[in-house]
Amino acid sequence: MKPWAQLLVFFSVLSAVLAAKPATDKFDRFHTLSRSGPVELDSTSFEELTATPRDYYAAVILTARDDRYGCLMCREFDSEWGVISQSWNKGPKLDGLKMVLGTLDFDHGRVIFQKFMLQTAPVLLLFPPNVGPFAKVNAEPARLEFTGPMTAEHLYLWIERHLPGGPMPPLVRPINYMRIVSAVAIVLGVVTLSTVLAPYVLPIIQSRNLWTAVSLIAILLFTSGQMFNHIRGAPYVAGDGHGGISYFAGGFQNQFGMETQIVAAIYAVLSFATIALAWKVPRMEDVKGQQLAILIWAGVLFGTYSLLLSVFKAKNGGYPFYLPPF
């Protein structure tokens, strides 16, 4: 090899070594600062972190956390960004793969926001290395603009897609001891309250009359078509075409909200009249009073059933049967 060629190779190797050394020193300095969480950057340190030569990845969140800017996502995601940073620093990585995670707040990096022409926040910029084993020819940063709430898991997947394939540190959320203490306190409070109130509440819960009433109300509501109204979105009432109000819809495939309530009330009267005749009246000791009660409840049963038939006939004009007085 000619002397001038040897000299050229020597200077090329020397320049590569000198270029790699500052990049390595720069990474070590920022990596030391990021051990407890993302590095807090300003315009100067951002330029230094992302300057070439760079043998590491630099992931920087550009955010605006101050309340003056009204960026709720910026404040909410700040803790998620910390989870990603701690998981990356503590977990095993691909040999030679290096990355620094940082945060640049608008108050400390207005020049950088203007440089990248950012109108919204937060925005993630991921700068790839331009030297070293994972260097990329195009060292332009990958950019992710937040369009809605973002979790650490979703952002971590996005970062992984831009890194070389291989083992990555798992995302591990720190144990929330306050949540555990709060849950234990709530459970103890519920147990204590249940123990104190049990002698008063259990007789009510175990009451047959209570469950009978609840069951009857539920049966009356559902048999009258309440669920149909919720599914179909039936109107409450409708006009009759003559300036009045129609409470009953024609046909058996349609009904109104008030129609459901009227039918439920009719069913309720029929139910309670039947219960009175079958349960209450036989227990009356006064014979004349018992006879009078039979006549009254039988009359209520007859009249209410007549009203029900008239409603049925109103929905189906061809129905031939009826009972007086309706």
Q: How many whole angstroms separate alpha carbon 281 and alpha carbon 291?
A: 9
Amino acid at 302: F
In whole angstroms, how far apart are CA 140 and each of 96, 127, 129, 136, 137?
A: 21, 7, 10, 9, 9
Amino acid at 227: M
| Among the listed residues 140, 166, 132, 150, the one whose alpha carbon sits nearest the alpha carbon of residue 74 | 150
Q: How many whole angstroms separate alpha carbon 270 and alpha carbon 136?
A: 83
CA 132 to mean position of chain CA atoms: 43
In the chain, where do the E strands start and end?
A: 39-41, 57-63, 99-105, 123-127, 142-145, 238-239, 245-246
pTM of the predicted model as reported, rounded to 2 decimal places:
0.54
The burial of 31, by beta-carbon neighbours within 10 Å (0-12 exposed, 13-18 middle, 19 or more buried), is given as middle
For residue 23, what pLDDT is reported?
55
CB 127 within 8 Å of CB 54: yes
For residue 185, what pLDDT is reported?
93
For residue 45, what pLDDT is reported?
93
DSSP per-residue codes, 57-76: EEEEEEE--SGGGT-HHHHH
Which residues, 6 or more positions from 252, have their beta carbon under 8 angstroms from its beta carbon? Answer: 315, 316
Mean pLDDT by 10 residues, the chain (326 residues): 43 40 74 86 93 91 91 91 90 87 93 90 93 86 90 92 86 86 93 89 86 85 81 83 81 82 89 89 89 92 91 82 82
